[in-house]
Amino acid sequence: MAHVVAPLDQPSNYKDSQARIDRLKQVDILSKSTTLYIGNLSFYTTEEQIYELFTKCASPEDGGGIKRIIMGLDRNTRTPCGFCFVEYYTHAEALACMRYISGSKLDERVIRCDLDLGYKEGRQFGRGKSGGQVRDEHRQDYDPGRGGWGAQAQRMEIERRREAEERYADVQEGPGAVATGGGDWKEAENNVVEVKLKRPRSLDDEGDNMRMGHRTRLDEDFDGERM
C-alpha cells in the first residue's frame, strides 16, 4: 500500500553530513537500519522519557526491543543538546517510529525521527561551533527548552552587551557630563542649562520584554481542543 499516499516511513532528506559512504550504499543501509535519529528534543528530556515513548514501538515478541539510547551531548559542556539516537534490534521497529512517533510530542515538544546510518563513535556530540547542534548555532528564536537563544544569537547578545557596557565606560558625573542637545532659541546670553544625571538606561530593561514577545517556533499550539 503506497500507491495512493506517500508512506511516512520513507527516509527523508536527513543525512549524516560527515558520513563517507556513497549514496547507493547509504540507501541500502537505511533500508535495513535499526537506528533512528531523534531531533528537536528539549535539553531537559531524559533517556527514560525517551525510552517510555519509544518502547511503544518495540516488538519484543518478534525478537526486538530498545537496544540502547545515545544521548546527544554538547561537545564542551557534556550536557544534552537536543538530539539522540535510539537503536532497536529490528528494522521494523524503527519504521514503526517513523509512522507513529515522528511529528508527535515528547515532553511537550514536537519531535522528529529519521532513519539513521547507525551510531559511530563521536556522533553523540554536537557539531556546532559552540559545542551544541549546528541548528542551535543559527537559530533566531528564543526556545526555552533548548537553552534560550541560539548560540550565535547568544554570542551576539553577549557581544552587544559587552559593547554596551564598554560604550559608557567613560561616562562622567557632575555638571556638564550630559550634553543638552541645544535649547530653544534664545537671545545670546550666558545661561548654562543643567540636567540631572539619571541612571543610564540598561539594555536589559528592553531585552526581557523582547524575549517575552517571542514565540517558540517549533512548539506548536494545539490548545484549541476542548474536552
Task: Kindly tell me which residue out of 25, 99, 160, 162 binds another protein, with binding defined by CB under 8 A.
Answer: 99
Residue 16 sits in the site that holds another protein (CB under 8 A): no
Q: DSSP for the chain, please give it.
A: --SSS--TTS--S---TT--S-HHHHHHHHTT--EEEEES--TT--HHHHHHHHGGG--GGGT--EEEEEEEE-TTT-SEEEEEEEEESSHHHHHHHHHHTTTSEETTEE-EEEEES---TTTTB--STTSS-HHHHH--SEEGGGTEE-HHHHHHHHHHHHHHHHHTTT---STTSS-----S---S----------PPPPHHHHHHHHHHH---SSS---TT---
Site map 101..120 versus another protein, x via CB under 8 A: xxxxxxxx-x-x--------
Cβ proximity to another protein: between 74 and 137 the closer is 137
Least separation in angstroms between CB 178 and another protein: 40
The residue among 12 and 202 lying less far from another protein, judged by its C-beta, is 12
Asked if 77 touches another protein (CB under 8 A), the answer is no
Contacting residue, 25, 32, 68, 160, with another protein by CB under 8 A: 68
Interface residue with another protein among 7, 144, 200, 207 (CB under 8 A) is: 7
Residues at the site binding another protein, with contacts judged by CB under 8 A: 1-10, 12-14, 39-40, 46-49, 51-53, 56-57, 59-65, 68-71, 96, 99-108, 110, 112, 134-135, 137-140, 218, 220, 222-227
